[in-house]
Chain A
Amino acid sequence: MPDSVPSDSVGIVSPQTIAFNTPLELACGQTLEEYELVVETYGTLNEDASNAVLICHALSGHHHAAGYHCADDRKPGWWDSCIGPGKPIDTNRFFVVSLNNLGGCHGSTGPSSINPATGKPYGPDFPVITVTDWVHSQARLADRLGIQQWAAVVGGSLGGMQAMQWSLSYPDRLRHAVIIASTPKLSAQNIAFNEVARQAITSDTEFHDGRYYDFDTVPRRGLMLARMVGHITYLSDASMGEKFGRELREEAFKFGYDAEFQVESYLRYQGERFSETFDANTYLLMTRALDYFDPAWHTEGDLARALTPATCEYLVLSFSTDWRFSPARSEEMVNAMISARKKVSYAEVDAPWGHDAFLIPTPRYTDIFTAYMGRVARETGA
């Protein structure tokens, strides 16, 4: 953290764990008898609880979206650029709720949690969770916090899918859905990348069919590879080119196969760091949740028809160089919303960083986000 708390930061925050003991029926047919969710909140809930905003995280995200956990923290939460006093999601006006999703590895119940039935970590016995399951669990969290209707449900990438699902599963419980750098469903190419990541993990000899906790080891190599391949899809060709080009770590070729190019050592570093903090089973689960998401599955692929129940207004944003979930995928979503006669606004923001652009503040992105959320605040009395 900087020497003092910046004026536009939510400051030092601490997560809380909330336990649920009403069984949660899941899409896969299994039931979670009890579970815990780790949550952070920023700002103050107003008297009529009309100013609440739910933040839904992406693949590797968690509850710590803004502020610092302690004065020694090197970095703030993952979406600190957009959440805080005077920022697009203005904590002077909104009560912001951010959680670690079920199946996660940052404190909420997931594959690395202890299975009460066995006294050992769930591992591969943890059920596959879908976006819809997450939304149901988030609705229970809203009940617990006394929030009948969100002013907005906001998310980027996989988080955007949750925002969209909210509008279908609980149409009267949100006024706005903000869907950033997302897609109505994964393409074959998207699923292919996920499959490579999963194969990297499950073929690691340390994986032990997902029971690596029992062997006191982790499939570090596999997780690292999974993250490396994922990371490539988060960046654009241009941004990688700008950052690394063909730059070598040393002056000349060594005619070997170690990391000689800067981009190689960068990817290795990112992968290694990730493999030290993330759970492999959670990675499998999150990628599967991505694969399965398809609201139009029950309407013969007709997304407009799938959107029928929605009553909220939508803001959809895409980024020009995002090739993981390209602007065309957002436009698919927008066109279905138009066809279904929903209220929707859409912009494609010019940004060089590929999919990662949703985490990086650029003037236009910030302006749009601020303007839209400002209007949400006015409308909801926030």
Chain B
Amino acid sequence: MRPDLEIIQQWVQRGQHVLDLGCGDGTLLDFLQRERGASGFGLEINPEHITTCMGRGVSVIEQNLDSQGLDNFDDGMFDVVLMTQALQAVRRPDRVIEEMLRVGREGIVTFPNFAHWRLRWGLTLSGRMPESNALPYKWYNTPNIRLCTFKDFEALCKQKGIRIKSRRVVDGQHQNSWLARLWPNLLGEIAIYRITREES
């Protein structure tokens, strides 16, 4: 399993009802169903991924977050709403986050950090849009249209009164090095946030 998914699965409790936004081929939900007795749905738009989910017994709904939102889900119907590596690809990440915490008690979000030193360095040196393992596209064909830094995300949470329960910052190999812990916005490549509106 992808290392970020490995971290996320530890945050899902036994028997929880889970919604996975952009669930891909359903690897994580499949794991959570089998190992954690979790239930729930994945939302996906990629036809191959949808077929794979259906073949492995993961409940998947073809639904586009940008055009359809989460209107069809009731308030608080999920324990956890997951969104791995998709926040930067939706048109209104702020609204998606609001919606995640409307339909779920807790959200788990991962996204690439645009302030990682290699991206800053690349832009400074070459004067061109940076590319990396986490962001392997050209500026004109990238699905990642809403890039942000860890600081940006945390500022947005603060503005919306969302509490960050925990944060794990990892590098490209998903290792949680002491350096990345020290200067996350500079040295962390991907962050995994656990957010909620509930009081601690």
Contact = CB atoms under 8 A, between A and B. Distances in A.
A372 B47 CA distance: 14
Interface of A: 313, 315, 331, 334-335, 338-339, 341, 343-348, 364, 367-368, 371-372, 374-375, 379
5 contacts: A344-B61, A347-B47, A364-B47, A372-B54, A372-B55
B: contact size bracket = 20 to 34
Contact of A371 (B55, B61, B77): B55
Contact of B55 (A338, A364, A375): A375
A141 to B, nearest CB: 28
A92 to B, nearest CB: 17
A363 B61 CA distance: 19
A339 B61 CA distance: 13
Nearest to B42: A345
A341 B47 CA distance: 24
A181 to B, nearest CB: 15
Nearest to A372: B54
A interface secondary structure, majority: helix
A371 B51 contact: yes
A305 to B, nearest CB: 13
B54 A338 contact: no
A367 to B, nearest CB: 5
B72 A313 contact: no
Given A367-B51, A368-B54, 14 more contacts: A313-B59, A331-B72, A334-B61, A341-B17, A343-B39, A345-B54, A345-B58, A346-B61, A347-B62, A348-B62, A371-B51, A371-B54, A372-B54, A375-B56
**Closest 10 pairs (CB-CB, A-B):** A371-B55, A335-B72, A347-B62, A372-B54, A346-B61, A371-B51, A371-B54, A367-B51, A343-B59, A345-B60
Interface of B: 17, 39, 41, 47, 50-63, 72-74, 77
A315 B54 contact: yes
A375 B72 contact: no
B103 to A, nearest CB: 10
A341 B39 CA distance: 9
Contacts of B52: 371
A368 B57 contact: no
Contacts of B50: 347, 368
Nearest to A331: B72
Contacts of B56: 375
A375 B62 contact: no
A368 B72 contact: no
Contacts of A343: 39, 59
Nearest to B58: A345
